[in-house]
Chain A
């Protein structure tokens, strides 16, 4: 086939056949790399990579690391403050526990003192009451005995008089007294 180059279309070379005059594509295969694409992409990437290596990435990374360090130091400070606050809380709780224990001890001691005093007062009052009760009982007994003696005397007089009236002679006072005593003892 006779052919002739008619024009360059980019890198695509087109031919016209001698027989038909039709354009026949003699393009390179689709996987063949084009030189201009190679060097433009090479140039672009190399510039990008070099700028990234020496300027863009270090600047960005420096800022990131500064922020990370700031965050880490803030975390560390927060942790330290948290630990200090926890220590303070623990100290406060220890003090509170000691104070509560002291208060409980004092309350217990006061309660014991009060109980002792109460028991003492109670014993004292009970003793006084028992004493008064005994005195009252003795007094009542004495009055009862006195009343009994009076009654005994009165009854003896009446019995003696009654016997004298009945028999015409006065009974012996000892007999009357014994009889009255036996009767009253029943």
Chain B
């Protein structure tokens, strides 16, 4: 009965969006909105009087800056990494603002639940940390990356392959998949429990039993929505801190 009335849509139906106009869909809209919101927030924050105790939008912006500086840069790169704060701040804010629409009513789609944004950001980070490594260590960066100091000569071929795959291939892949898969899983869970709630409420038979039971998936829906608030923040934080770790490791291999 339920199985008959409960029809889960195709995966693409909950992930792919029609164009709003040519080559511009909901994901692109969220990405643009994330950038615009970030710019507007920091623009407004910069216009507020800095000499008095910050409040409102300036407080939000300053808390973000201090979170990135104290919680990420100083923990992973030290004082020498403070120059990376603007990039890491942009990364964190952009990912967070792309994640959060997953729980905003009527939007309900995290842009990072699509492959494009995590993949492009991971590739950007990959280019940056390899560029930083080459800039700071020159060509030795490649040998240091493939053969960490102290590896016995006999193990170099094996370690070289493992480290090459780990540092050059797996890192961007894991960055991408971690963010994408977490947000996609959260989105699918929310859709599932929302549809299940709807199916139970609109069931045509055994209504006396099925309608009250709708409270169970609805409760899960509420719980998962709250959980996604945490996930949205956590995934942005994890992506940003791993970026800082990779850049710090490339700039200072001795760490």
A: which residues have CB within 8 A of B?
9-12, 25, 27-28, 30-34, 36-38, 40-42, 44-45, 47-49, 51-53, 56-64, 66-67, 70
Residue of B36, B52, B65, B120 near A61 (CB, 8 A) is B65
Give CA–CA (A32, B36) in the complex, Å: 26
B: which residues have CB within 8 A of A?
10-12, 15-19, 23-25, 27-28, 31-32, 34-36, 38-39, 42-43, 45-46, 48, 50-52, 58, 61-62, 65, 85-87, 89-91, 93-94, 98, 111, 114-117, 119-121, 124, 180, 184
Provided the pairs A57-B65, A57-B85 are in contact, do residues A66 and B35 lie with their beta carbons within 8 angstroms?
no
**A interface SS class:** helix
11 contacts between A and B (CB under 8 A): A27-B16, A28-B12, A30-B16, A38-B120, A41-B116, A52-B38, A52-B39, A52-B90, A56-B86, A63-B46, A63-B48
Which chain A positions have C-beta within 8 A of B25?
Answer: 10, 34, 36-37
CB-based contact B116/A48 at 8 Å: no
CB-based contact B116/A37 at 8 Å: yes
CB-based contact B39/A67 at 8 Å: no
Give CA–CA (A69, B114) in the complex, Å: 44
Q: Which residue of B lies closest to A34 (CB)?
A: B116
Shortest beta-carbon distance from A101 to chain B in Å:
50
With most chain A CB atoms within 10 A of its CB, the pick from B25, B35, B51, B93 is: B35
Shortest beta-carbon distance from A181 to chain B in Å:
121
Q: Which residue of B lies closest to A11 (CB)?
A: B16
CB-based contact B119/A45 at 8 Å: no
Residue of A40, A48, A62 near B94 (CB, 8 A) is A48
Taking A40-B27, A42-B120 as given, write out 14 further A-B residue pairs in contact, using a Cβ cutoff of 8 Å, ordered by the A residue number: A10-B17, A27-B12, A27-B16, A33-B120, A37-B28, A40-B32, A41-B121, A48-B39, A48-B94, A52-B87, A60-B45, A60-B65, A63-B51, A64-B65
Residue of A9, A31, A59, A70 near B46 (CB, 8 A) is A59
Shortest beta-carbon distance from A47 to chain B in Å:
6
Residue of B15, B62, B90 near A64 (CB, 8 A) is B62
Which chain B positions have C-beta within 8 A of A60?
Answer: 42, 45-46, 50, 58, 61-62, 65
Give CA–CA (A42, B34) in the complex, Å: 12
**B interface SS class:** helix
Shortest beta-carbon distance from B26 to chain A in Å:
9
Which chain A positions have C-beta within 8 A of B94?
Answer: 44-45, 48-49
Give CA–CA (A67, B65) in the complex, Å: 15
CB-based contact A44/B35 at 8 Å: yes
Shortest beta-carbon distance from B35 to chain A in Å:
4
Give CA–CA (A51, B86) in the complex, Å: 9
Which chain B positions have C-beta within 8 A of A27?
Answer: 10, 12, 16
Which chain B positions have C-beta within 8 A of A45?
Answer: 31, 35, 90, 94, 120-121, 124
CB-based contact A25/B38 at 8 Å: no
Give CA–CA (A52, B23) in the complex, Å: 26
Shortest beta-carbon distance from B44 to chain A in Å:
10
Which chain A positions have C-beta within 8 A of B36?
Answer: 44
Residue of B17, B87, B114 near A53 (CB, 8 A) is B87
Give CA–CA (A48, B93) in the complex, Å: 10
Which chain A positions have C-beta within 8 A of B42?
Answer: 52, 56-57, 60
7 closest A-B pairs by beta carbon, nearest first, are A63-B50, A40-B28, A37-B116, A44-B35, A56-B42, A41-B31, A59-B46
CB-based contact A34/B27 at 8 Å: yes
Give CA–CA (A12, B13) in the complex, Å: 10
CB-based contact B121/A12 at 8 Å: no
Which chain B positions have C-beta within 8 A of A47?
Answer: 35, 39
Give CA–CA (A11, B32) in the complex, Å: 20
Give CA–CA (A45, B43) in the complex, Å: 16
